[in-house]
Amino acid sequence: MLNVSGLACSRGERRLFSDVGFSLDVGEWLHVQGENGSGKTSMMRLLVGLSPADAGEIRWRNEPTPSTEFRRDLIYLGHHAAVKEDLTPLENLSLAAALDGIALDERAALAALVRLGLRGREELPVRVLSAGQKRRVLLARLLTRPAVLWVLDEAFNALDVAAVKLLGELIAEHLSAGGMAVLTSHQPLPVPGGKALVL
Amino acid sequence: MNAFFATVRRDLLLALRRKSEVLTAVFFFVIVTSLFPLGIGPEPVLLKKIAPGILWVAALLATLLGLPRLFAADHVDGTLEQMALSPSSLGLLVAGKILAHWLLCGLPLVLLAPVLGLQFDLDAPALGILTLALLLGTPLLSLIGAIGAALTLGVRGGGVLLALLVLPLYIPALIFGAGAVEAHIAGLGAGGHLSLLAAMLALAVFFAPWATTAALRIALE
């Protein structure tokens, strides 16, 4: 489904990586590893199509990316909180869904927030939540937005032990339901199996 | 189209939670236009002559005041990235943001202009032309400004650069907008000026969201 070949990226004069290739199929996940500054985040941004690659090709369902179909199948959560501090978690979820053109009823949004341990916080403005709780609001999008490919950049940052375990479970459920995931992390991930890519 | 209206709704809701940012531009407009009659003194002939120019320059600067924030907050907190990766077209979302900006920063100026025009001894027909010209002109200012805001996104000292970039592009709107009222006062009829403003607006509605989207994609790289 996802085929990447010959990917290269440089920042200024410095070549971050070259000739990176991998492929993912239904139920598989990739753990992108590397030192600080080795280009993990750059790799993720190339992969989702936020920045152009120097060389290489990324194909999704045998079609070159980025395409609207790819974006429909993709969810990317990066370093940023990507939530609005002045809105409540519930408003954040429903507006994010509306912007993506997806119908999301309030019950489903509430259920996602409860699953991520934000029961009772759904009507508070996000700015009063802690960093870990903000991260959980963002992660709730994994449940409200149907997507095949999850690209999560350092998603385990700022999460407590329980949330790390929960995210591991969510990813495992996603994979067993026919999904795919590309993750970066410095820690060993609580998800069984998986390919590794060292930059 | 749902995504377009969702963006408008989102930006209006965000503005509602942070009213001071929107009110700054409106108060600026009111205060600047009120300072001129106070400074110049009660000379109806002179005031009437300078009224269109002053109201238009003030509207232009008030619009400029809100422009740096158009995309900055979404850029910093990463929501702009999410918009760029959304299955909805980024152009549509950007158009929604521009419309929301006009509703917040442009429309209040249009509505206030007839009241503020009274300070300059403008008669009712002239006030009508002024309002109509601003109704056509302020969306144009938002559309052109959005291109500048996208081009200077993430640039240090972007506010000054934005003004340098956008103000020259505002000159045609200023000339024809203020010119419409002046022509009416001189008894020449404002039709030609207003038609030109409308033509520029039509062109900008078509091209500005597209150019803004292209600039935003570069800024996100």
Question: What's the pTM?
Answer: 0.92
CB contact under 8 A, A82 and B79: yes
Q: What is the pLDDT of residue B32?
A: 94
| Parallel, antiparallel or unpaired: strands A74-77 and A29-33 | unpaired
Report pLDDT digits (tens) over B16-35.
Answer: 998 888 899 999 999 999 99
The answer on pLDDT for B59 being more than 90 is: yes
Closest CA to A31 of A153, A179, A178: A153
- Say which range, A38-42, A169-173, B26-30, B50-54, has the weakest mean pLDDT: A38-42
Q: What is the pLDDT of residue A122?
A: 83
The answer on pLDDT for B173 being more than 90 is: yes
Q: What is the pLDDT of residue B204?
A: 95
The answer on pLDDT for A192 being more than 90 is: no
Q: Which CATH number fits domain A2-198: 2.40.50.180, 1.10.1510.10, 3.40.50.1100, 3.40.50.300?
A: 3.40.50.300
Crossing angle for the helix pair B90-101 and B69-76, to the nearest 10 degrees: 130
Please answer whether residues B147 and B170 qualify as being in contact, where contact means their C-beta atoms are separated by less than 8 angstroms: no
* Disruptive mutation site among A100, A135, A145, A182 for chain B (greatest number of B CBs within 10 Å): A100
Q: What is the pLDDT of residue A68?
A: 86
Q: What is the pLDDT of residue B128?
A: 93
Chain A closest CA to B34's CA: distance in Å? 34
CB contact under 8 A, A80 and B78: yes
Domain regions of chain A by residue span: 2-198
Please indicate if any CB of chain A lies within 8 Å of the CB of B82.
yes
Compute the average pLDDT of residues A130-137.
Answer: 89
Calculate what percentage of chain B has a pLDDT beyond 70.
100
Q: What is the pLDDT of residue B154?
A: 83
Q: What angle do CA B145, A46, A39 make, to 5 degrees?
A: 115
DSSP3 helix / strand / coil % (chain B, rounded to 5): 85, 0, 15
Report pLDDT digits (tens) over B97-148.
Answer: 999 999 999 999 999 999 999 999 888 999 999 999 999 999 999 999 999 9
ipTM of the complex: 0.90
* Disruptive mutation site among B4, B22, B88 for chain A (greatest number of A CBs within 10 Å): B88
The mean pLDDT value of chain B amounts to 92
